[in-house]
Amino acid sequence: MDVGSGFSAPAMIWKENYKHLKIFCINLNYKQLFFSKKLLKYNKYLRCSYDIYDICLINSTSLNLPFIDQSIDVIISLESAQHFKPFSNFIDQSFNILKNNGLLVIAVPVINPSFANSFLGKVNKLFKLGIISLTWTSEHYFLDELIEVLKDNRFNVVDVKKIGSSVYDPLSDYYISHRKEIKKKIIKQYGFVIEQILYRSIKKMNNLSKNKIIDYVIIKAIKE
Ligand SMILES: C[S@@+](CC[C@H](N)C(=O)[O-])C[C@H]1O[C@@H](n2cnc3c(N)ncnc32)[C@H](O)[C@@H]1O
């Protein structure tokens, strides 16, 4: 199950590599699912086998997953869980529908514990994040908070990989070195001011990532 599935791009890759999989793509955004359906049909991924599609698109919130208890082997949520509020509801739901020993994997942006424990972190995380708090519109979770919620919900956290330098640095380097082309497109659609804010935000992101204030993590947990 892919929760917060966007345009189902990950599902297509998984299906390509593991043909036997049955994948449920869960997305709150109906328009995205509609587009996914077209993409999947075009790429011939929507093939009916028995009574169920190989890739099944479901318009639902992550906070109330329409599945029976202990029915799912693996739940993956990529670049989405920062939008699930409260995060604990998603984890609670995941626990219920996962089979025993089922796997939950979340890839999510976080704020590092070193900052969380600093004076500024305690007083106001938005202060230090500066302009990035305008463009990072989802929740700003501390890594410790997420792990705590998983543990509270009886998940065993088996691995936490920090991959911020492989996410923010290439993204900001790309923007900075291709700004001329990107700028034209953004100005055309959103105007000059938005591009200025975005550019400053991208530079701030690069800086915060290098100083290890923000990070990106892959958390792997098992229902035991
Ligand atoms: C940044 S996209 C990530 C897309 C995809 N996981 C990927 O890696 O290509 C975030 C996705 O989460 C979905 N989303 C946000 N809040 C949600 C919620 N509460 N329940 C289900 N999906 C949600 C959005 O509609 C969007 O498709």
Express each pLDDT in 125-134 by its tens digit: 555 666 566 6
Q: Measure the CA–CA gap between 49 and 71, rounded to whole angstroms.
A: 19
Domain boundaries, the chain: 61-164+213-223
Q: Quick one: pLDDT at residue 52?
A: 47
- Residue 36 CB less than 6 A away from ligand 1: no
Residue 53 has pLDDT above 70, yes or no: no
Q: What is the DSSP letter of 81?
A: G
Beta carbon of 84 within 6 Å of any ligand 1 atom? yes
* Residue 203 identity: K
Distance between Cα 36 and ligand 1 center (Å)? 13
Q: Per residue in 192-222, pLDDT tens? A: 999 998 898 888 888 888 888 889 999 999 9
Instruction: Write down how long the chain is.
Output: 224
Q: Whose CA is nearest to atom 4 of ligand 1?
A: 6
Rounded to an integer, what is the distance from CA 204 to the centroid of its chain?
21
Q: How far apart are CA 175 and CA 179, in angstroms?
A: 5
Q: Say if CB 90 and CB 63 are below 8 A apart.
A: yes
Q: Domain 61-164+213-223 belongs to what topology?
A: Rossmann fold (3.40.50)
pLDDT digits (tens, 9 = 90+) for 62-83: 999 999 999 999 999 999 999 9
Tell me the pLDDT tens digit for each residue of 82-116: 999 999 999 999 999 999 999 999 999 998 877 65
Reported pTM:
0.88
What's the pLDDT tens digit per position in 12-36? 999 889 888 999 999 999 999 999 9
Query: What is the atom index within ligand 1 of the atom nearest the CA of 62?
Result: 20
Element (H, E) at 158: strand 155-162
